Amino acid sequence: MEKIPARAWIENAKNTSEEIMKEEDIPLLEDFDVQGLNEEELRVLRSEIRNRVCKLSAKDKQIRRLRRNRRSAFRVKNKLEVETENQIAQNEYLECLLAQMEQDNRHCEEYVQQLERTGLELKNLLEKAEREYKRDVSH
């Protein structure tokens, strides 16, 4: 395999902010033609390689975090949907219960009115019977 010219790669790396997509895109130190490089150029080369590895690592961590967050968001969304459906069902049940209680209340009110009428009729009958009794006793 042909070696990568180190000086040209260093200059290119300094002048561009290349987006690294995969680990295979990062050349290793042994992939470079380092003959004739001084210590400073060798240090810069190592630093650029390390920076790219760090960027890739940070990008991988970010992708994992985003995937985790997405899964978590889906779990929360699903949980909220279930809770919403349960709340809707509970509200429907409570509305039915309330309607039944209102109907029962109307029947109770009608029954109370009927009892009041019956009580009034009984009171009138009792008063009439008392008057007739007093009249019969006085004669």
pLDDT the model gives residue 55: 85
Q: Would you say residue 72 has pLDDT above 90?
A: yes
Chain centroid to Cα 50, Å, comes to 40
pLDDT at 47: 87
CB of 46 closer than 8 Å to CB of 29: yes
- Read off the pTM: 0.49
pLDDT of 4: 81
> What's the whole-number mean pLDDT along residues 43-70?
89
Q: b vs e for 19-30, b when ≥16 Cβ sit within 10 Å of the residue's Cβ?
A: eeeeeeebbeee
Task: Render pLDDT for 8-22 as a digit per residue (tens, 0 to 9).
Answer: 877 777 776 666 666
Average pLDDT over residues 55-77: 93
Phi first, then psi: give them for residue 132, nearest 5 degrees: -65, -40
7 pLDDT band, cuts 50/70/90, is confident
pLDDT band at 54 (very low <50, low <70, confident <90, very high): confident
